[in-house]
Chains A and B, each alone.
Chain A
Amino acid sequence: MSTVSLPAGGTPASAASRRGPALLRHSVALAHRSLIKTFRTPEALIDVTIQPAIFLVLFTYVFGGAIAAGSQHDYLQYLLPGILAQTIALAGATIGVNLNDDIASGVFDRFRSLPISRAAPLVGKVLADLVRYVLLFTVTLGFGYVLGFRVQTGVLDVLAAGALVMGFALCLSWVSVWIGMMVRTPDAVQGITMLVLFPLTFASSTFVKADTLPGWLQTVVDLNPLTHLVDSLRALLLGGPRGDDLLWTLLSMAALLVVFVPLALRAYARRA
């Protein structure tokens, strides 16, 4: 995503708009706005703070005993990378809701009547989301540590895990941007993204090992990009072979970008 060029169909202004420092400056100002809004609406932070914590506690202590033959600690070690991937994927889905909300409220018209790049509101949202992802990553690892989760690798591996999961969320968030531009109301965006994401997160290796599942479901799990992301995170945080899963994760990220960036940008240019 080096330069966000909007396809034709918008005004020629998008082609003539300034890039580089001006785009970055405007995007940072807009990211600041998004973050002020987020921190003034504490419930907007639940999905990156309390939700991963509750998921960790619930799954570890409710299912942990049954799934991991009595060792809740073993299950926590297995579960945490999965919760990380699941909650960050869900958090990435809010971008479409927020964009749709801005358009519905009329704020976008105001932005578009200003001499700023049309990409700035979008880039601003992405930057603000990155801050939320960092918060989520820190809270999940920190709370996991309190519960007994222990990283088995080094600092660089942890940073790589963070970069990977945040990168994946950014790629996945283009799906949300696309839906957010196609659907009429913010609530509808929320509903549709949940409909897509819930099966995606559960039909993966997030909570249980794939070999406990019926054959047809194993096939689904193996194809699910989230499975490879979660297994890559496990490898990065707990050690173990990482090559294949990492490769598949990066490929699925590229595929998400190739498919959904053009779709999302075309819808964005039409709507925003």
Chain B
Amino acid sequence: MTSTTPAADPDLAIQAIGLRKRFGETQALDGVDLQARPGTILGVLGPHGAGKTTAVRVLSTLLRPDQGVGFVGGRNVVTDAVAVRRSIGLTGQYASVDEKLTGTENLVLFGQLLDLRRRDAKARAKDLLAWFELQDAANRPVGTYSGGMRRRLDLAASLVGRPAVVFLDEPTTGLDPAKRQAMWGVVRSLLREGSTVLLTTQYLEEADALADEVTVIDHGRVIAHDTPDGLKRVVGGQHLTVRPRDPAHLDRVATIMAALTASVGGRVTSPGRGVLTAPVSGEAMLAEAVIRLASAGVGVDELSLRLPSLDEAFFALIGRTADGGPTDDAEDDGGPAADDDPRVLVPAGGPATAPNDRGADSDGRAAA
């Protein structure tokens, strides 16, 4: 890089400008920009292999980019890596705590590596274990922990040095919904400690629940950056789907659904024969639909509430970029804008929450 590197924006805790990284034939990052203001959560959303982990590895000083610059707390992640390492905590995709060591021993080790006195390292370990509700397991080898406990310890290990910036690379991949919720609570509490968080996820739902702003990346490129609400307007929110038992009731059901969803537009469409669907704004509307359909004497074969899947999010987002500029997406059959496309209204597989294999394995092992 002979050109002068761009200066850091002092108002940003995390900043990436035009990151590029190639591994052999794969262009993992193809000009990625990221920004997070201090004290916020930036969600980096993308499918497996989108380049999320590579971006995190660059920003956490583990990987040198081919091009572009990254700043954490205003410091260059390549030329000032040691200073950056003093201010960050990293929780990778795969638990990086030691199975043979106890929870306490793991955390004390990281404290010592961060130049805490042994006594201070022990005190910090104790605090963190209590905070993550692991105090009862403090003196057990990590090998005996469940998958969720291990993730919590892993996160605790990245917080030993009270980092100003925390990188969480898919912190809930492979966790069951209850454990995922618990992890979300922990991530939110990091903000109360004053940290800035960069969180990568494959789950739209997770980005929605946690992030102040979301950057969507795919094939190493940023394809959208917005607030979760802004993204949802593109992607579409939950949809209520009703299939009356008697097709003769379709008109009456359409009327009921239009009235029910009037507050969010009352857009009732029929994506297939005998089925009606409409965007809704939460589970309350599902309960209300049950009541209204029952009191109207309409029997149903199907009554469901679905979120658009991540695939659909990408379909919608790529559809939008097709309007705004060049894109390699040529599959759209020239139809209307994505949010009017029937494919968005009839999700094929529900929310994209299938755990990846690795996560399922570690959970399985922990349960055994």
A29 to B82, CA, bound (A): 19
Query: Are B94 and A106 interface neighbours, CB within 8 A?
Result: yes
**Chain B residue contacts of A5, Cβ below 8 A:** none
Query: Are B62 and A113 interface neighbours, CB within 8 A?
Result: yes
Q: A11-B81, A29-B112 are in contact. Are A106 and B92 (CB under 8 A)?
A: yes
Mark contacts of B68-93 with chain A using CB atoms, 8 A cut-off: 1 yes-contact digit, 0 otherwise.
Answer: 00000000001101100110111011
Of A32-40, A84-92, A161-169, A243-251, which stretch is located at the interface?
A32-40
Query: Are B61 and A37 interface neighbours, CB within 8 A?
Result: no
Which residue of B85, B95, B105, B115 is within 8 Å of A22 (Cβ)? B115
Query: Are A107 and B90 interface neighbours, CB within 8 A?
Result: no
A192 in contact (CB, < 8 A): no
Number of interface residues of B (CB under 8 A): 34
Residues of B with Cβ closer than 8 Å to A? 57, 60-62, 64, 78-79, 81-82, 85-86, 88-90, 92-98, 100-101, 105, 109-110, 112-115, 141, 157-158, 161
**Chain A residue contacts of B93, Cβ below 8 A:** 106
Query: Are A33 and B109 interface neighbours, CB within 8 A?
Result: yes
A41 to B101, CA, bound (A): 11
| Secondary structure dominating the interface of A | helix
**Chain B residue contacts of A33, Cβ below 8 A:** 98, 101, 105, 109
A209 in contact (CB, < 8 A): no
Query: Are A114 and B81 interface neighbours, CB within 8 A?
Result: no
Query: Are B62 and A40 interface neighbours, CB within 8 A?
Result: no
A199 in contact (CB, < 8 A): no
Which residue of B79, B105, B113 is within 8 Å of A36 (Cβ)? B105
Query: Are B101 and A109 interface neighbours, CB within 8 A?
Result: no
Q: Which has the most chain A C-beta neighbours within 10 Å: B61, B79, B82, B109?
A: B82
Closest to B95 in A: A106
Number of interface residues of A (CB under 8 A): 29
Q: A106-B92, A114-B85 are in contact. Are A37 and B110 (CB under 8 A)?
A: no
Query: Are B113 and A111 interface neighbours, CB within 8 A?
Result: yes
A111 to B62, CA, bound (A): 10
A214 in contact (CB, < 8 A): no
Query: Are A115 and B78 interface neighbours, CB within 8 A?
Result: no
**Chain A residue contacts of B161, Cβ below 8 A:** 114
A26 in contact (CB, < 8 A): yes
A22 to B113, CA, bound (A): 9
Q: A13-B85, A37-B100, A40-B141 are in contact. Are A26 and B113 (CB under 8 A)?
A: yes
Q: A11-B64, A106-B92 are in contact. Are A16 and B82 (CB under 8 A)?
A: yes
